[in-house]
Structure 1
């Protein structure tokens, strides 16, 4: 595993922190977890570090910051002076521009930002992970190699492109699903009856919605509130629904059809790939509805 023999994972009791802990341990590193959880080997608030945490950081080859951004930025500010000059810092925040600024200001060595675009309880093989190289170095390459070795598809980007893309991939996607759930819940039809009468699109959207509402609210709220492009994404989503409603209520068949064609033109070759993927999803949905 190169020179990454000792690692500290800040927030290592959380889902993403645990994933990174397993990754580093599987590669042979000795990993210490710093977390507010009392059973962590380095318990306590990482923004007011204990002497034991500072000592561990001084000797660590890799420091993972698996914290919500509101905590990650002050943690990086407080702890960076104690990192070894050749250590690699890895942050896992879902929004990157503020982290990039903190790293540029405070971190002396190499630094990498990652955003696993899947829930940590899923197998990483074949799944996407965004990577932002805040500051290059040997440790960055080593961590990226470890991630790729799990079968993860690593997409290298920069902080601005990452946040712009996540405004569509995460902010608009999650907002549309939550709005869908809110609307359905107010239509006066029993959820069980809706499930019994479900079409494949409804069943698929409901499955996605159920996964979100069964997750950690703070994670999804952070995605909505901290992305600088999030407000524009939600505004476009709301405007798109207003346009759709206006076209339908006006009986404007031409405008409705043009809207579909415009979306298809934007997607280009992605549309055909998405339709193939949808066919596979609907095959799974059919098996699910049979078991009801």
Structure 2
């Protein structure tokens, strides 16, 4: 099976390496940064192709930033039997797949972890099933990932909590916290400080895309304001409502 990964970043490399290692798959990379595509191909064991390639593949996996996912899907929709994405949002990419690849196998996948933390949970919406999609999902499962079926609406609603709100809460603590000696940290503050460092180790552009795509941060801000303004009785009510 020949698979083209559009996007040579860490998630595209994770997908390519995983399916190559657990199925009979050869991989190619296309990226607007040709050097990045070449580097990814060398790192994973594959080849780089031009973004303008007319070659057909068994599968195309779109692994680009969320703001350009729909454009990438439109560009590569006619290049494969199966079209997938690992962009992290599902509603709009799946709609683009249905519009531009109505006769293809289609699936949206969201690995709920950074590649360095693989394997883990992978949310899946199989929009149009077939052998290619089943083989690729099987390869992910064979690597130890726990794939589970959901809907685009359920997934995107969940991301408001587990990504947009969670990241906002951690970043807000990091911005609000004073620089104190580690000797003073409690189990709660120490855990939060560790989460701040985990978020800081990522890519600001990815976190910005998440905040731009999903609601959730506003609810964190509202909750923090309610806590800050609460008297003792109101605070107790808020605490007890958890």
Structure-1-length-normalised TM-score? 0.74
Q: Contact 1:132–1:159 (CA<8 Å) still a contact in 2?
A: yes
State the match for 1:64 in structure 2.
61
Q: CA deviation at 1:43?
A: 5.0
Q: How much is the aligned-residue C-alpha RMSD, in angstroms? A: 1.6
* C-alpha contact (below 8 Å) 1:7/1:24 kept by paired residues: no
* Runs of 4+ with deviation above 4 angstroms: none
State the 1:113 CA deviation.
0.7
Tell me how far apart the structure 2 counterparts of residues 216 and 259 of structure 1 sit (CA, whole Å): 34
Counterpart pick for 1:168 among 146, 158, 161:
161
Q: How many Å separate the matches in 2 of 1:10 and 1:204?
A: 36
Partners of 2:76 and 2:126 lie apart in 1 by: 20
Please identify the structure whose Cα radius of gyration is greater: 1
> Do 1:96 and 1:159's aligned partners in 2 also have CA atoms closer than 8 Å?
yes
Structure 2 runs not aligned, ≥5 long: 39-46
Q: CA deviation at 1:166?
A: 0.5
User: How far off is 1:139 after superposition?
Assistant: 2.1
User: What is the CA-CA distance between 1:157 and the residue it aligns to?
Assistant: 0.9
Residues 94, 107 of structure 2: 8 Å contact kept: no
Ranges in structure 1 where 5+ consecutive residues have no aligned partner: 264-292
Give the distance between the partners of 2:239 and 2:137, measured in 1 at CA: 39
CA distance in 1, matches of 2:17, 2:168: 31
Q: Which residue of 2 aligns with 1:278?
A: none
Aligned position for 1:282: none
> When the two structures are aligned, how many residues end up with a matched partner?
230
SS of 1:8's equivalent in the other structure is strand
Q: How does 1:244-259 map to 2 (within 5 A)?
A: 244-247=227-230, 250-252=231-233, 255-259=234-238
Following the alignment from structure 2 to structure 1, what is the Cα–Cα distance between the partners of residues 197 and 54?
Answer: 41
1:222 positional shift: 0.9
Distance 1:28 1:136 in 2: 19
Which residue of the partner structure matches residue 41 of structure 2? none
1:123-272 matches, cutoff 5 A = 123-124=118-119, 127-184=120-177, 187=178, 190-191=179-180, 193=181, 195-227=182-214, 230=215, 233-247=216-230, 250-252=231-233, 255-263=234-242
Aligned to 1:81: 78
Task: Give SS of 1:121's match.
Answer: helix
SS at match of 2:202: coil
Kept in 1, the 8 Å contact 2:174–2:196? The answer is yes
In the superposition, the TM-score normalised over structure 2's length comes to 0.89
Higher relative contact order (CA 8 A, sep 6+): 2
| Separation of aligned partners in 1, 2:147 and 2:240 | 32
Counterpart Cα distance in 2 of 1:79 and 1:90 = 11
